[in-house]
Structure 1
Amino acid sequence: MAWEFRKLGPGDNVAVEAQRDPFAAPKWAPPVWHMPEGLVLLVNLVRALVRTVVFLVRNIVPVSAVAGLGWLGVRFGWLVPVLVLALVAVGLSVWAGVDRPSFVRWIARPARARWRLVAVYRRDWQPVLVTAGLTKVHKGREYLPSLVRVRCGPTSDRVLVRMLKGQAPDAWERVAVNLAHGFGATLVRVRDGDRPGRIWLEFVRKDALSVPIPALPVPDGSAVDLSALPVGRCEDGAPWRLRLLGTHVLIAGATGAGKGSVIWSTIRALLPWMLSGLVEVWAVDPKRMELSFGRALFERYGRYSDDPKGGMVELLEAAAVDMNARAEQFAGVTRSFTPSHEHPFRVVVVDELAFLTAYCPERDLRKRAESALAVLTSQGRSVGYCVIGAQQDARKEVNNLRNLFPDRIALRLDEDEQVDMVLGDGARDRGALADQISSIPEIGAGVGFVRLEASPDPVRVRAAYVSDSDIRDMVALGLPDVEAA
């Protein structure tokens, strides 16, 4: 018997299947199309050309520089490009010595950003994103979010990312820890991008706020701006400027978190206008420890031991009555407030807000205090009143007026749930890790996160530390004829 071997076709497959099971449905294999080798080479050539053009466009400056130096070397000899490079190096050195800020802005940071784009982010981009689960595979093809640009600051990098279609920033926030470890950063925050479908990834390389900031100089009267008072420093090295005009500020933090640093830095920034009569500070001091040190600076001062039956509450009620009278006077005349000696800007500072709204033993006093605070925070912004409230307990049942404070500051907190209680839902997912701030005063006191009314993104800041001697000097400025006690 002779055997013949040959390649089976689709019809043979059907015949074989029929022999195995005569009742089986026929199975047809899809035809296989073989692309001509010439067409494959042409497609690969086009892809290589496109990639080359993209590379040249992305690197137009270094490519042009290298090409120019190469042309000079071929045309005039290689000594010429060496001299050109030497002259450029000397010019950059002189620029860095004469005007270092502009050199850093236009040369150093862009060069560093380009280097980190290539050596850090683009090199590890695919493996880190695949491990973090931010890529998608469809029909055997991997879809990867793309890098747009990188900007470098003194302590952090900002990476602009074009997300996949249908992807949301929440997916990146959930794996922020993975991204931080993947790219060697201590922390990653997700920020909204310049357009829909894009986000900024803020990679923090080192902590710029680990060292205490000494008290800032008392500003000149002409430099006081109620919408931007310098009270400390932001994580990116920029001054932290606190707005008081047209808003109220809530400060929440555990014991020793540095609430006094924020309060006294604000008062220090207001001091020139306080001395001139354009600003008045009314202080409520239930603890009798923090604000009593500068009692002589305040227009009105109330503490628990002066009148435990209502002295502090009467101060708040007097402020509410004066605020209503001012609103009645301004009605139909003006819609914007400008401080004057007749109508100064009034800042009501309450050192321990929870005592008046929850812990005060007298129920009637609690209701009166809460009513006065509600009036001030709901109506006082437009007529030159600002309430600064500080509290330790962030729970809603302790202070149900927190939604009336547009600007909020979260210093060190005891629990992660308290972060969203103070700054609003989703603040911790956006990077406000106030529960992880160090409890060591030299490291964490005065460090916190700010969430402003106009922006949902929290900003990490540190308030300057105003010491006892600094407060004595402030009192001496306000009372030059009296020796500060």
Structure 2
Amino acid sequence: MARKNGKNHKKEESRKDSNSEPWLDIHPEVKQVIFAVGAFVLAALFAISSIGKGGALGGYLYRAFGYLLGSGYFFAPVTLVLLGFSFLFSGRNRVFAVTVLGGFLFFLASLLSLDLFFGAGTGGAVGRAMSSPMLALFDFWGAFVITLGIWIVALLLLFNIPFWKRFSSENEEGTTGEARGAAEESRIATVIDNLSATIQGAVLKVKTATEIPLAGSGADGSAPAAKEEEANGNLIALRKIARRNPFYKKPPLELLQEDTGKPSSGDIRANANIIKRTLENFGVEVEMGEISVGPTVTQYTLKPAEGVKLSRITALRSDLSLALAAHPIRIEAPIPGKSLAGIEVPNKSIALVGLRALLGNAGFAASPHPLLFAVGRDVAGSPVYADLSKMPHLLISGATGSGKSVTIHSIIISLLYRNSSDMLRFILIDPKRVELPVYNDIPHLLTPVITDPKKTIQALRWATKEMDRRYDLLSKKSSRDIVGYNSSLGKAEDEEALPYIVILIDELADLMAIYPREMEGAIVRLAQMARAVGIHLIVSTQRPSVEVITGLIKANITSRIALQVASQIDSRTILDTAGAETLLGNGDLLFMSGDTTKPKRIQGGFISEHEVKRVVDFLREEFAVPEYDEAIFETKAEDGGNGHDDDLGDDDPLIAEAEKIIRAAGKASASYLQRRLRVGYARAARLLDILESRGIIGPADGAKPREVFAKSADSLHELDSDEDEI
């Protein structure tokens, strides 16, 4: 059904979400057990009917099936029992239709075998109907070979087990189900002999990977995390947070929703003629090129005639929008890597880009990059992926309702599908308290989802200390980065691999309003140095202003995702270029990485709240409850000019001395307090904020000095009381 506007599209998406939920959100393994129980019950009914204990209906079924199947009647309960065990012990979530097909072929092969070896009619009317023409065409041995082939195919479909690989080597016993089907050509690493708590498990080393489009550049190394070295001294080490599970079972793709709907762009030839005719009316000669229909927009490419300035085409955006009766349209001139310009026209109805199809892509599954995640589909409908390890940090911004939260969920779920808790840890920060708490209690978390701003500062301080600790470990091993370090580790018990750490901040604006200097200082320091040691930031905000996305933050986070924003100014704040104001919302985004000069338009992958809950519930049920590291919230920063504040409260022990210095000098500035008190800039600025809140000094007024107010005796007495309490 065509959707005429964004509201109708949003309603239809919600209807499709509710209608497509399988079995009222029953867990896939519960469905397997239900299928198995049903198969066992039917097998029992067939068995008791054959001995006259099935009642009147059982007797009728026995006589009817006895005529149709002959002696093959007794293969019916056998086949049903095999089906039941296939559902129970197949080792992965079964596809119902494929399993039933395997059972059906097994039963047919049984009937054929009876007729071939024991004479016509032994397999009943069905067996005779199949064996007679087969014997006439192929004779006995030809029919035997065909029957044998059906047997083999039936068993493979029933149990989905490549027996020649399963039993060829004992070293493959530790290989995960995810690794066995990841690449066409792969070799399995041997399982470490001592299966103790420090075993990382078998690791798939991909020899060849299907080439997939990357929005960002790929990782240099594919060496997996092996073991992590314990910290010593006073440094805070990354502890073993959850029980190690060397056989990580990734969530099944069946938990996610398939793509729904097809894009409808209308009469694309007519639109191409309208574009050409409109430009010619304004004296712009062009030659129309390829037309690419994407999930959200259709891109019409054109080549300007010689001597035509591209600025003349971009200036006619409003006229083209009027002629096409489509708003808004976006003009990409030129298209990177081509001598063409592109006009992107919204589709009359858009397609929902489900995350399941993106994660199920063969190239994505075979890629060795652990931090590869799905971004969405481009204007041509091709899947687009990005590697967080090469970004190495990401900024996401967009107006309310543009799809920012869905984009964050799709990134998190992509990483959860690729990494066990031994290879990846998350620190999730959500001051809004509504989006990320759903991930509490999954084994990948270092801490519970953080909602307190003060704990956010402590977590970022811990991350900087962890970064310094990791650099010390790398220097001892003479390694350049975390990949080289993990590859250099041996089998010693005191050596443990360093997992990647992803710090995700859902709403930066709320934190910047409370602790602007502390947040900026911590983000900038991590963004500058944390890449090599496997610590990565994902920062998002719905308020793209220069007070939130400061110049220092932008300079150090070069990979950015911009969703729909209200104005061109907001777009330039995020991307340093216009374009995000012409997006359509609902996950329509512009992606720019550090190695690209122009943003790329992508329809982001969609994942619903119910899908997120299903994946999270799967992880909670499959793995142990994490043991959080409370030492993260005990981290204290040291005094100095590092931009970190020691005390975030209003009871700073230096407040009285700062007030005396300011009253004596008759002026108030952060740099002056830094020199006199020998503290960092952030703490000096915090002291000024406290003094301002107490009415001792005036507010900041640009470059002008703050006004110092005279204090009454009561105020001074209150200050002395505060000092006594300290």
With normalisation by structure 2, the TM-score equals 0.41
> Which residue among 428, 445, 453 is the counterpart of 2:586?
445
Aligned to 1:462: 604
SS of aligned partner of 1:275: coil
1:162 & 1:232 partners in 2: Cα distance?
A: 30
Deviations 1:257-288 (CA, angstroms, capped at 9, x unpaired):
32221111111111144425112111112122
1:301 aligned residue = 447
SS at match of 1:192: coil
- The whole-number CA distance in structure 1 between the counterparts of 2:625 and 2:450 is 26
Q: Is the 8 A contact 1:232 1:239 kept in 2?
A: yes
- Per-residue deviation, 1:226: 4.4
Contact 2:355 2:410 in 1 (8 A): no
Please tell me whether residue 282 in structure 1 is matched to residue 427 in structure 2.
yes
* Equivalent position of 1:324 in the other structure: 468
The equivalent of 1:347 in structure 2 is 502
Matched, 1:202 2:343: yes
Q: Does 1:382 align with 2:532?
A: yes
Counterpart of 2:405 (choices 254, 257, 260) is 260
- Within 5 Å, give how 1:132-151 maps onto structure 2: 132-134=282-284, 145-147=285-287, 149-151=289-291
Distance 2:374 2:400 in 1: 24
1:454-475 Cα distance to aligned partner (Å, 9 max, x none): 1313313223123145334334
Residue 242 of structure 1: aligned partner: 386
CA contact (8 A) 1:476 1:482 kept: no
CA distance 1:413–1:327, shift in 2 (3 Å): same
Q: Structure 1 312/172 Cα, relative in aligned 2: closer, same or farther at 3 Å?
A: same
* Structure 1 residues 257 and 158: CA distance shift in structure 2, 3 A: closer
Equivalence map 1:379-458=2 (5 Å)? 379-400=529-550, 401-425=553-577, 427-428=578-579, 432-434=580-582, 437=584, 444-453=585-594, 454-458=596-600
Q: Indicate how the Cα distance of structure 1 residues 216 and 128 shifts in structure 2: closer, same or farther if over 3 A, else same.
A: closer
CA contact (8 A) 1:451 1:459 kept: no
Q: From the superposition, tell whether residues 195 and 326 of structure 1 become closer, same or farther in structure 2 (CA, over 3 Å).
A: closer
Give the C-alpha shift of residue 293 in structure 1.
0.8
Q: 1:257 to 1:201 in 2, by over 3 A?
A: closer
Give a deviation string over 1:309-342, Cα, whole Å, max 9, x none.
Answer: x211111111122123323443593445428561
Q: Residues 455 and 131 from structure 1, CA distance in 2 versus in 1: closer, same or farther, beyond 3 angstroms?
A: same
Partner of 1:30: none
1:311 corresponds to which residue? 455
Using the alignment, how far apart are the partners of 1:273 and 1:390 within structure 2?
22
Cα deviation digits, residues 202-254 of structure 1 (max 9, x gap): 34362564647466686697556346422433333222323311221111123
Q: Which among 278, 289, 313 is matched to residue 172 of structure 1?
A: 313
Which residue identity lines up with residue 348 of structure 1 in the other structure? Answer: I
Alpha carbons of structure 1 residues 249 and 124: separation in structure 2 relative to 1, 3 Å: closer
Assess, with a 3 A threshold, how the Cα gap between structure 1 residues 457 and 275 changes in structure 2: closer, same or farther.
Answer: closer
Tell me if the contact between 1:377 and 1:404 (Cα under 8 Å) persists in the aligned partners.
Answer: yes
- Mapped partners of 1:421, 1:334: distance in 2: 37
Match of 2:437 in 1: 292
1:381-432 CA deviation, whole Å, 9 max, x = no partner? Answer: 233222111111100112311332212112232333211111213x32xxx3
Report the Cα distance in structure 2 between the residues aligned to 1:481 and 1:194, rounded to whole angstroms. 45
Q: 2:565 and 2:278 mapped to 1: Cα distance?
A: 32
Q: Is the 8 A contact 2:299 2:379 kept in 1?
A: no
User: TM-score, normalised on structure 1?
Assistant: 0.60
Contact preservation (8 Å) 1:411, 1:448: yes
Match of 2:414 in 1: 269
CA contact (8 A) 2:440 2:449 kept: no
Distance 1:464 1:123 in 2: 33
1:191 equivalent in alignment to 2:336: no
- Post-superposition shift, 1:303? 5.5
CA RMSD between the two structures: 3.6
Unpaired stretches in structure 1, ≥5 consecutive residues: 1-114, 135-144, 438-443
**Partner in structure 1 of residue 14 of structure 2:** none
Contact kept, 8 Å, 2:275 with 2:320, in 1: the verdict is: no
After TM superposition, give the deviation of residue 352 of structure 1 in Å.
1.1
The number of residues matched between the two structures is: 338
Which secondary structure does the structure 2 equivalent of 1:338 belong to? Answer: helix
User: Over residues 44-86 of structure 1, what are the superposed CA-to-partner deviations in whole Å (9 max), with x where a residue is unaligned?
Assistant: xxxxxxxxxxxxxxxxxxxxxxxxxxxxxxxxxxxxxxxxxxx
Which structure shows the higher strand fraction?
Answer: 1
Gaps of 5+ in 2: 1-266, 487-495, 627-726
